[in-house]
């Protein structure tokens, strides 16, 4: 696993070709993103001035930066920036994770957003939404009866072709066809078809996809001294395990993922687990 030094203004930017560490600087109402010594993106908005504003995650695709930030008044923000223009989307609170494919942002919300009752809850209560950044529209993607069976979300990943897989914590709802205690959904971004399946028995922290396999990083209990990544087939049947050494694991304060990378963050370091390079 590769380790890269991190400081308080570092920002890991996920890219299909492999991510990079950038630096961000906030000056009044401007958020400036630097790749090395060169400023690549500038975002200007009054919300950046607020004391609660915080940069959380960034993904770059086809010359655009899709950046998620904690906003104000229970409204999280997505900025889409290119050298020519910028857009802003207020999305409600409780964003669990997101991914970007072909100019669309796919967002899943955690329990905090689903049941918040604050901010733009018409989006967060929908649990899984798409932002079409070209048309500047936000569209809920799950049927209403499916939403009633969902309590929380564990993770989201994309197979690189057509399927977004979402991992949910649910409850038994008699009138719902989607009633499982824990289940995952496959959403086809082309046909919009949704299929459901029972989930593997694991405490999921995040999920990635590479080499025709799913990689499940477990949210280990305090008794477990090392990190565990389960390698599964398409049906979430465990085929092997990858272990993260205890010296690295005990320092982790945050886990992030995008495309084919898990990023394990500590106070002063990014540990990069490239799923294409790990041995099953």
pLDDT, tens only, 23-79: 999 999 999 999 999 999 999 999 998 888 999 999 999 999 999 998 776 578 999
pLDDT in tens, 229-238: 999 999 999 9
Question: Does 124 lie in the same domain as 206?
Answer: no
Residues 14 and 136 occupy one common structural domain: yes
Residue 147 and residue 256 in one domain: no
Say if residue 15 is in the same domain as residue 70.
Answer: yes
Residues 60 and 102 in one domain: yes
Residue 279: count other Cβ atoms within 10 Å of its Cβ. 6
Residue 171: predicted pLDDT = 62
Q: Which residues pair with 75 in a beta bridge?
A: 72
**Tens-place pLDDT, residues 169-220:** 766 555 555 555 677 899 999 999 999 887 766 678 899 999 999 999 987 6
Task: Round to whole Å and give the CA distance between 155 and 125.
Answer: 17
Residue at which a domain ends, from 154, 170, 199: 199
Total domains in the fold of the chain: 3
Cα–chain center distance at 71: 17
Q: Specify the CATH number for the domain of residue 271.
A: 2.40.10
Do 182 and 210 have their domain in common?
Answer: no
Residue that is last in its domain, among 181, 199, 217:
199
Distance, in Å, from the CA atom of 89 to the CA atom of 6, rounded to the nearest integer, reads 28
**Long-range contacts of 156-159, Cβ-Cβ distance < 8 Å, separation of 24 or more:** 156/96, 156/97, 156/98, 156/99, 156/106, 156/108, 156/207, 157/99, 157/207, 157/208, 157/209, 157/214, 157/257, 158/99, 158/101, 158/106, 158/209, 159/209
Query: What distance in Å separates the CA atoms of residue 55 and residue 206, rounded to the nearest whole number?
Result: 20
User: For strand 30-35 and strand 20-27, is the pairing parallel, antiparallel, or unpaired?
Assistant: antiparallel
Report H helices in 107-209: 111-114, 121-124, 144-147
Could you tell me if 59 and 123 lie in one domain? yes
The whole domain housing 99 covers: 1-141
Q: Picking from 107-111, 136-140, 272-276, which range would have the lowest pLDDT averaged per residue?
A: 107-111
Are 12 and 54 contained in the same domain? yes
Judgement on whether residues 186 and 65 belong to the same structural domain of the protein: no
Q: Tell me: do 116 and 160 sit in the same domain.
A: no
* Same domain flag for 232 and 244: yes
Residue 64 sits in the same domain as residue 172:
no
Q: Is the pLDDT of residue 275 over 90?
A: yes
Per-residue CA distances from 80 to 33, 49, 112 (Å): 13, 18, 24
- Domain-ending residue, one of 141, 156, 189: 141
**pTM for the whole thing?**
0.89
Buried/exposed code over 209-243 (b: 16+ C-beta within 10 A; e: otherwise): bbeebbbbbbeeeeeeeebbbbbbeeebeeeeebe
């Amino acid at each position: 696993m590769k380790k890269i030094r991190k400081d308080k203004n570092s920002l890991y930017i996920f890219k299909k070709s492999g991510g990079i560490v950038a630096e961000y600087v906030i000056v009044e109402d401007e958020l400036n993103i630097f790749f090395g010594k060169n400023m690549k993106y500038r975002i200007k908005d009054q919300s950046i001035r607020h004391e609660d504003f915080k940069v959380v995650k960034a993904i770059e695709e086809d010359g655009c930066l899709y950046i998620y930030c904690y906003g104000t008044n229970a409204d999280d923000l997505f900025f889409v920036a290119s050298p020519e223009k910028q857009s802003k989307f207020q999305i409600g609170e409780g964003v669990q994770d997101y991914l970007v494919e072909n100019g669309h942002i796919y967002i899943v919300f955690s329990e905090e957003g689903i049941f918040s009752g604050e901010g733009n809850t018409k989006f967060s209560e929908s649990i899984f939404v798409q932002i079409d950044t070209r048309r500047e529209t936000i569209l809920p993607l799950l049927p209403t009866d499916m939403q009633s069976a969902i309590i929380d979300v564990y993770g989201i990943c994309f197979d690189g072709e057509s399927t977004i897989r979402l991992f949910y914590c649910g409850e038994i709802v008699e009138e719902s066809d989607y009633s499982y205690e824990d289940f995952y959904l496959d959403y086809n971004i082309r046909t919009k078809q949704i299929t459901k399946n029972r989930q593997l028995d694991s405490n999921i922290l995040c999920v990635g996809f590479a080499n025709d396999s799913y990689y499940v990083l477990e949210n280990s209990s305090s008794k477990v001294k090392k990190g565990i990544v389960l390698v599964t087939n398409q049906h979430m049947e465990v085929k092997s395990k990858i272990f993260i050494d205890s010296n690295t694991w005990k320092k982790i304060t945050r886990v992030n993922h995008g495309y084919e990378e898990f990023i394990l963050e500590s106070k002063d370091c990014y540990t990069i687990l490239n799923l294409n390079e790990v041995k099953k």
